[in-house]
Amino acid sequence: MENKKHLFDIPDDIVYLNAANLSPLPNVTNEAGKQAIDRKSRPYITKADDFFNPLLELKSSYAKLIDVDEPLRIASIPSASYGIATVANNIKLHAGYEILLIGNEFPSNYYSWKRLAEKYNAVIKTVKKPSSKEHCGRHWNMDILDGISDKTAVVAMGHIHWSDGTLFDLKAIKEKTKKYNALLIIDGSQSVGALPFSVKEIQPDALICAGYKWLFGPYSSGLAYYGPYFDHGIPIEENWSNRLHSENFTGLTNYEDTYKPYASRYNVGENANFIAVSMLKESIALLLEWTPEAIQKYCHTISKDVIENIKKLGCNMEDSEFRAKHLFGIELPKDTNIDILKAEFEKRHVSVAFRGHYVRVSCHVFNTSKDFEILFECLSTALKTN
């Protein structure tokens, strides 16, 4: 794959390595949003089908991206927390049963589970990151598998860890959850779109994904896959368009008890969202063209040489086998002066994220090997100054 920076509005002097925080919009996505805003200025051109068909088209595209045969198993959500709350809203637990979470989980993938555990007097079981630096990812995966037992009701986690990119073996984890009839709920917000994910292969019970990161969508947009376990659940809200025959505007007050099939009941209200749907459609079309497999390979190609040099500075990083290539953490030496490092990044217009004593780097097809060389120069200068 060739560099795609020309498809984004990123100046040449900007080193943007922070897509995990907020992705840039591809130019075509930006244009689709502007056109959608213009259409809202002319409401007389909006037809009844516009409330339904574009979203169905978006679901079909997204289904291809995550390898799903039934697009109606996908719901439109405004955020990952909304999608996870929908899941938690439809789970009943026995007292003493366990919800297994990953250590230092993102808050949106914690609070709903905490509330659920408190409601049923269940237990939050956290599998923390191992303290050993050698083969940490391998040991963390082993600890997760060991933590799943006949007391486990739910395993909720990401495909990768959101702060350091540790890659989790979801296929093996699914096999263990299946053995104990536990649910596997995946937050794909930091992976789907940039890292291959197959619902057919992994068979999660739900896959929740915010849209403003690796899907290149606008803020307050997202998509969620809900498996058969949730086919007859209760949605957070009762939106009119989620019921059968809602396309018949003249009969809307003929109230309908039956929801549309599969995950349609979980669509957020005002899911026609003409702006967000138009933008996500454009971005997902690009991702299908590029493919997550090629994105991973590209990110690895532009970063691998510099990563080896960064390690020689005394920084610690996860083994390549157990980390994503589009998002990874650089653990800094303990005596690093963070203020000096931040000043170096600011001076060279480098955008990254600081997560504890880690620098989180997240790249994409708009980045180049030169970006990583500048990253290395910043680290090298700051660490030599200590």
pLDDT in tens, 97-117: 999 999 999 999 999 999 999
| Same domain membership, residue 264 and residue 346 | no
What average pLDDT does the segment 332-359 reach? Answer: 94
What average pLDDT does the segment 137-165 reach? Answer: 97
| Same domain membership, residue 193 and residue 151 | yes
| Same domain membership, residue 180 and residue 109 | yes
What average pLDDT does the segment 314-323 reach? Answer: 93
Decide if 267 is inside a domain.
yes
CA separation for the pair 125, 360 (Å, rounded): 26
Decide if 73 is inside a domain.
yes
Domain end, chosen from 260, 289, 318, is at 289
Does the structure show a pLDDT above 80 at 297? yes
What average pLDDT does the segment 60-86 reach? Answer: 98
Decide if 297 is inside a domain.
yes
The parent domain of residue 318 ranges over 5-19+291-385
| Same domain membership, residue 9 and residue 60 | no
Tokens of 257: 């008890």
- The pLDDT value given to residue 90: 98
Tokens of 199: 């619902």
pLDDT digits (tens, 9 = 90+) for 201-234: 999 999 999 999 999 999 999 999 999 999 999 9
> Residue 257: is it exposed, middle or buried by C-beta count within 10 angstroms (0-12/13-18/19+)?
exposed
What average pLDDT does the segment 68-74 reach? Answer: 98
- The pLDDT value given to residue 357: 80
Domain end, chosen from 224, 257, 289, is at 289
Beta bridge partners of 75: 224
- The pLDDT value given to residue 36: 96
- The pLDDT value given to residue 133: 79
End-to-end CA distance of the chain: 39
Does the structure show a pLDDT above 80 at 296? yes
Decide if 55 is inside a domain.
yes
Cβ pair 39, 229 in contact under 8 A: no
| Same domain membership, residue 233 and residue 88 | yes
| Same domain membership, residue 283 and residue 301 | no
Does the structure show a pLDDT above 80 at 385? no
- The pLDDT value given to residue 386: 62
Does the structure show a pLDDT above 90 at 384? no
Does the structure show a pLDDT above 90 at 132? no
Confidence of residue 321 (pLDDT cuts 50, 70, 90): very high
| Same domain membership, residue 213 and residue 346 | no
What percent of the chain shows pLDDT beyond 70? Answer: 100
| Same domain membership, residue 284 and residue 199 | yes
How many folded domains does the chain comprise? Answer: 2
Distances (CA, A) of 77 to 90, 221, 223, 263, 268: 16, 6, 5, 11, 5
Decide if 24 is inside a domain.
no
pTM: 0.96
Decide if 261 is inside a domain.
yes
| Same domain membership, residue 112 and residue 245 | yes
Q: Which residue has the tokens 């292969």?
A: 201
C-alpha closest to that of 8 among 283, 193, 278: 283
Cβ pair 374, 12 in contact under 8 A: no
| Same domain membership, residue 140 and residue 279 | yes
| Same domain membership, residue 310 and residue 271 | no
CA separation for the pair 186, 204 (Å, rounded): 7
| Same domain membership, residue 123 and residue 87 | yes
Domain CATH for 49: 3.40.640.10
Return all residues near 61 (Cβ < 8 A) that are at least 6 apart.
281, 284, 285, 288
C-alpha closest to that of 330 among 347, 295, 306: 306
Helices 369-385 and 292-312 pack at an angle, to 10 degrees, of 30
Helices 80-88 and 111-120 pack at an angle, to 10 degrees, of 10
Domain end, chosen from 247, 264, 289, is at 289
CA separation for the pair 2, 185 (Å, rounded): 35
CA separation for the pair 210, 20 (Å, rounded): 11
Decide if 27 is inside a domain.
no
CA separation for the pair 53, 63 (Å, rounded): 15
CA separation for the pair 113, 117 (Å, rounded): 6
Decide if 28 is inside a domain.
no
